[in-house]
A = this chain, B = another copy of it.
Amino acid sequence: MESAIPLHLKTQRTRHKRVPDDYQPPYPSFVARYKPGVVRVVMAYFGVQYRDVAPAAAMEALAAIGERFAGEGGPTHWDRAHYVDQAGYTNVVSAAYWDDIARFDAWFEPSREAWTGKGREEIGTFIEVLRPAVARHETLFSSLGRPEGVAVIADGMSGEVQEHAYWGGMRDRIPLSQSDPMTPGGVPELIRDGARLRVKAHDNLCLIRSGQDWSDTEASERKLYLDDVEPVLREGMDFLRDDGLVIGCYANRYMQVLAAGSRASEKSYGQSWWKSLAALERWAESHPTHVKIFGAAMKYLSTLGPSAKLRLYHEVTVAAADEQFFEYLSCHPKTGMLAAVQSAGA
């Protein structure tokens, strides 16, 4: 049993963790471990948005960003996912990960210009980037052997960690929680730069990417997941997307991961932006929609026991104000963090 907080990020505590030192989680979970030299990671979401059938411009944009990812200074790992949003628009989002800020910065400037610098026919584009210090970030995996998202660029995975399977574990895994309540400050602001809309959010904005991978499940387990768990998960994701703002969720996308050749894979993830880690905690712990998800997942896992082949993971970041970047071009007004400022301005 090891701490989710790596040794080199242990600090003098002014805030206690939520469980006693002898706490034993009831089942194993694991976290990504970066090389100690990694001080920041970058997670950058590049979105293409269009209505109905994909226009040629969308295909061209996706090919172009793929080429940039493969080029000099590109991400160590990226994946692509797809969803139809509340306004009926299709969004194809390429999520890319770096562990070197200088490399990212050099790569980003021209890539940004190419992505949101000039309008394209029939499509919108957007960029959402966090570049957190590693102390502002945590991951959790239900099993080993298939890292996803930011964990792919890590050095490897931990052994079994202590800080999970209780409410508050997410916070306790973030190294900064040892000394900082991570209180949000300020409200999101809209900045107009010609046709480009930028959102300046606020200190301690929170991002979660929470993923599901049912590709290893077989007959009865697959049926149980798709019939009993997925619909409840979808209902909660829809709630966050449509009505999340009142509880501090600025935006939510429940996306299907695309495999090579743009075929849908048997992986999905929810990606949501939150006013604070506390707001995310409250939803997860006590909102009826997540209580249902938690109940369905618990029933599923207790039915299957250790034989369950479903893989679950998440990554959570609480970003400082200067670790964020949001830019939207020709997107509808409920896209991503635009929803937060639309509402604030309304």
Contacts and interface: CB of A to CB of B under 8 A. Distances in A.
Interface string A60-76: 00000000000000000
A278 to B, nearest CB: 5
Interface residues of A, number: 27
B167 A285 contact: yes
Contacts of A281: 166
Interface in A278-312: 278, 281-282, 285-286, 288, 291-292, 294-295, 298-299, 302
A270 interface: no
A298 B291 contact: yes
Counted per complex, copies of this chain come to 2
A181 to B, nearest CB: 7
Contact of A183 (B20, B292, B295): B20
Contacts of A299: 288
A288 B298 contact: yes
B295 A165 contact: no
Given A167-B168, A302-B288, A278 B19 contact: yes
Interface of A: 15-16, 18-20, 23, 26, 165-168, 181, 183, 276, 278, 281-282, 285-286, 288, 291-292, 294-295, 298-299, 302
A154 to B, nearest CB: 27
A285 B183 contact: no
A166 B287 CA distance: 10
Contact of A291 (B18, B23, B276, B295): B295
Nearest to A292: B295
B15 A286 contact: no
A309 to B, nearest CB: 20
Contacts of A16: 15-16, 181
A166 to B, nearest CB: 6
A167 B285 CA distance: 7
A125 to B, nearest CB: 36
21 contacts: A15-B16, A18-B18, A18-B168, A19-B278, A19-B282, A20-B183, A20-B276, A20-B278, A165-B286, A166-B281, A166-B282, A166-B285, A166-B286, A167-B167, A167-B285, A168-B168, A285-B285, A288-B299, A288-B302, A291-B294, A291-B298
**Residue from A281, A295, A299 whose CB has the most chain B CB atoms within 10 Å:** A295
A302 to B, nearest CB: 5
A168 B278 CA distance: 13
A246 to B, nearest CB: 11
A288 to B, nearest CB: 5
Which 7 pairs of residues, A with B, have the shortest CB-CB distance? A167-B167, A295-B295, A167-B285, A20-B278, A15-B16, A288-B302, A291-B298
Contacts of A286: 26, 165-167
A278 B285 CA distance: 17
A340 to B, nearest CB: 18
Contacts of A166: 281-282, 285-286
